[in-house]
Structures are given as structure tokens and as C-alpha cells.
Amino acid sequence: MRKVDSFLKECHRLEGINSTSLMRKVLKGFAFSDGTFVPKGTMTLVAARAMHYEEAYYENAHAFEPFRFADLHEKDDEGRKHQFASTSAEYLAFGHGRHACPGRFFAASEMTAMLAHIVVMYDVKFADNATLPATVPLVTFLLPDPTAKVMFRRRVD
């Protein structure tokens, strides 16, 4: 299951559903050490997708490496931090800290179950052997290409 979990996390890292994370409203004006001032009422957020493509956080960040997190799990004593539903300052798909998405564990379980069902029951491919279509940005959301054609054929025993 570790490799399935890694595959899903890598898919979510590269093609998540939102390009931003950690949206917060400033409750009290704040000045950074460089003099930058953020006034009360300002909405702030983090460019999560940009961080997910950052070489400082992920070696070969633009490449899809399905077992990236499984491999990290094997190398690291704290393997749980590389699980799909785990958050970190580098992986912000579910937010981070005490306001991280409380449904992330359910989402990870559901995606694992759906992937298992599809892999066991269907042969899947893009129509005309096309490659993965580009993500369509809509404000901060990242949507799958609505014109992409995916073919499913039920497997026969």
C-alpha cells in the first residue's frame, strides 16, 4: 500500500486541485523585518503549486516519479511524514498546521479505493493514445482538461 499511497501523493503534488493554500485574513497589521507592511483585513495565501515544483524541496521536481514518497519513506526514520494525508511546510495540498483539511484522511482512503477498483476492473487509456492533457487553470483552481477523452473498457474474466 505504501507505493499506492506514494503514487497518489505524487499525482496530487503535480496535478492538485488548487494552486494556492493557507488562505488567511490578517487580523492585526504586521511589519516584516524588511519593512514590508501587511495591513489588517488583507487576505494572504501561499503559492502551493509553485512550492510543489520547487527543486529545493523535491529533487527532479518537474518529473512524475510515482514512488518518490515511498523511496523517501524507506530512507527516512520518520516515514509517516511522507504519507499522502500527511502535511508539511513543503507539501501544502491539504493545507498545514492546525487548520489542515480534516477530511484529508477520508479523501486519501476514498482515492485509494477508487484507484484499486479502476485498476482491477478496467483497462484505461486516452483516446488516440494521447498524452496527459494540460491542466486548465480557473482563478486558483486547477481543473482537468474538459475536452480530454479517456476510454474505459471493462475487463472480462
pLDDT per position as a tens digit, 20-54: 999 999 999 999 999 999 999 999 999 999 999 99
Question: What is the C-alpha separation between 114 and 132, in angstroms, rounded?
Answer: 20
Confidence of residue 72 (pLDDT cuts 50, 70, 90): confident
pLDDT per position as a tens digit, 96-136: 999 999 999 999 999 999 999 999 999 999 998 888 888 99
Question: What is the C-alpha separation between 84 and 117, in angstroms, rounded?
Answer: 19
- Residues 6-15, mean pLDDT to the nearest whole number: 94
Cell match 519593512: residue?
Answer: 35
Indicate the pTM of the whole model.
Answer: 0.87
